[in-house]
Amino acid sequence: MPEIVLNAEVGRTGGSSSSRRLRAEGKIPGVVYGHGTEPVAVAVAARDLRVALNSEAGTNALLSLQADGKTYLTIARELQRHPVRGTVVHVDFQIVRHDEVIAATVPVTLVGEAIEVHHGDGLVDQQLFMLPVHATPADIPTSVEVDISGLTIGGVVRVGDLALPGSVTVDLEDDVAVVTGVPPRVQAAAAEGEGAEGAEGAAEAAVGGGAAAGAGQEG
């Protein structure tokens, strides 16, 4: 994974008013921490950060922060977002080393077409969308692809079946299901269950209405 260079300003003052001023200038306040160093308050250009985090690596992008003559190799560990607009308002940069194994979460992407499942009127049910992994920063995969072209109805692809680089380990048991081929009878049973519940509710309403009518006649 290539490093993305970001220029960072240091020496910013703390406080909400200072942070609002920075955001008005198109900058995002943040802090650099880790490996026993004192936390360093920084600010980066919002546009540059957005471009970096929208790269193929996403939030696992390896960021080389150039700050006041120093270079920090980091990963954006925590992004605070505006509750309404969803824009990043603060970012924590964790210092990492090239030879250090770190934790990360990568997306799971389905590829191929489950022809047997679809021809049998079944359903492809993806149960795992993000995969927690451990790897050195450069070896963190941008995503984990799962080929479902051989998936059958009733078949399951599990974590232990995933093809991962040799240096990448997973924080889940091998038998955890990633994607399954759901048979049509399961879908039909679910629909019948919903229909039965609706019929039962209608019957109860009818009984209730009849009782009310009887009470009215007695009166």
Structure tokens belonging to residue 113 = 């077409």
Picking from 50, 80, 96, the residue at the C-terminal end of a domain is 96
Give pLDDT, residue 165: 83
Q: Where are the alpha helices (DSSP H) in 16-66?
A: 16-24, 46-53
- Does residue 35 lie within any of the structural domains? yes
Give pLDDT, residue 20: 78
> What is the CATH classification number for the domain harbouring 156?
2.170.120.20
Give pLDDT, residue 202: 53
Give pLDDT, residue 219: 47
> What is the CATH classification number for the domain harbouring 63?
2.40.240.10
Indicate the Cα dihedral angle 211, 213, 216, 217, nearest 10°: -100
| Residue owning tokens 């992008």 | 61
Number of domains in the chain: 2
Question: Which residues span the domain enclosing 74?
Answer: 3-96
Is there a single domain that holds both residue 83 and residue 120?
no
Picking from 53, 72, 96, the residue at the C-terminal end of a domain is 96
- Does residue 7 lie within any of the structural domains? yes
Is there a single domain that holds both residue 64 and residue 111?
no
Is there a single domain that holds both residue 108 and residue 88?
no
- Does residue 213 lie within any of the structural domains? no
Give pLDDT, residue 14: 64
137 within 8 A of 63, measured Cβ to Cβ: no
Give pLDDT, residue 213: 47
175 within 8 A of 112, measured Cβ to Cβ: no
pTM of the model: 0.70
Give pLDDT, residue 19: 77
Residue 57's CB is within 10 A of a number of other CB atoms, namely 22
Is there a single domain that holds both residue 69 and residue 108?
no
| Residue owning tokens 């509750």 | 83
Across 17-39, b (16+ Cβ under 10 Å) vs e yields eebeebbeeebbbbbbbbeeeee
Quote the distance between the C-alpha of residue 68 and its chain's center: 33
* pLDDT, one tens digit for every residue, the chain (219 residues): 678 999 998 876 666 777 778 888 889 999 999 988 889 999 999 999 999 988 888 889 999 999 888 999 999 988 888 888 888 889 999 999 999 999 999 999 999 999 999 898 899 999 999 999 999 998 999 999 999 999 999 999 999 999 888 789 998 999 999 999 999 875 555 566 666 565 565 555 555 555 444 544 454
Is there a single domain that holds both residue 35 and residue 88?
yes
Q: Residue 122 carries which side chain, given as an amino acid letter?
A: G
